[in-house]
Amino acid sequence: MPKLASLLLVLSLIAPLDTFARCGPSRLRGHVTKPVTITLKGAERGIRNAPAFYLRQPNQWVMMFFKPEDIIEQLKKDGARYRAEILTMAASGAQAYLDAITRDLPLKEDTDLFKYVLHDRSFLTRQEVVIAELLKLGQVYVDHWPFQDAKRDPIDDADDPTTLTMVSQGTSDEEIARYFCESGGAEVFSVTYIFY
């Protein structure tokens, strides 16, 4: 039994270090940028005051809420960038995802973004890129313990994060992954870029 307890202790110490390796400087992960603190503007922008899109991270007990207009604007920007770079497949995918989301507007209730991935799995890549950009801009409301309604229980939301830490992985010329973590090092979201 002491060996099992020792193993569990070692594993519990390694897990936070691995998370910090992604969200802090680490030679183990290679080419990781200096951490950047992002101020989350979701509360002040009233994201939870109207129906919003959300993304669940159930293994971390976190939900992220996004304004529909922010998702739409970012998809339009991505589509324009893809067209400018002559990335035809990416541009048509961004447009298809934009069309699917637009059909559901205005939202009548909070809507899970995974709904669109279930419709077309190619939307997953588009969704991850959009979410990464909105997180970088702080255009998100991150809710801990999402089983409580943020509009009805502000006491529950007192511990929701107001900042995230972002690090990128890649070379000086090309970003290949981006990680977003809370101040304690818990990873909230990550994306690995697929190039077309």
Instruction: Give the per-residue pLDDT at 190.
Output: 84
Phi and psi at residue 73, in whole multiples of 5°? Answer: -60, -45
CA distance 182 to 171: 24
Whole-structure pTM value: 0.79
Tens of pLDDT, residues 116-158: 998 888 788 888 889 999 999 999 999 876 555 545 555 566 7
The answer as to whether 82 is a domain residue is yes
Q: Report which residue type is found at 139.
A: Q
Instruction: Give the per-residue pLDDT at 68.
Output: 96
SS3 23: helix
The answer as to whether 128 is a domain residue is yes
The answer as to whether 15 is a domain residue is no
E strands in the chain: 36-39, 53-57, 62-66, 111-112, 141-144, 163-170, 175-181, 187-192
The answer as to whether 8 is a domain residue is no
Instruction: Tally the domains of the chain.
Output: 1
Instruction: Give the per-residue pLDDT at 87.
Output: 81
The answer as to whether 96 is a domain residue is yes
Number of residues that this document lists for the chain: 196
Q: Which domain holds residue 164?
A: 25-192
The answer as to whether 3 is a domain residue is no
The answer as to whether 18 is a domain residue is no
- Tokens 């979201």 belong to which residue? 189
The answer as to whether 19 is a domain residue is no
Q: Which residues of 47-71 are buried (b: 16+ CB within 10 A; e: fewer)?
A: bbeebbbbbeeeeeebbbbbbbebb
Tens of pLDDT, residues 50-59: 999 999 876 6
Given a contact cutoff of 8 angstroms between Cβ atoms, the answer to whether 130 and 159 are in contact is no
Average pLDDT over residues 12-25: 44
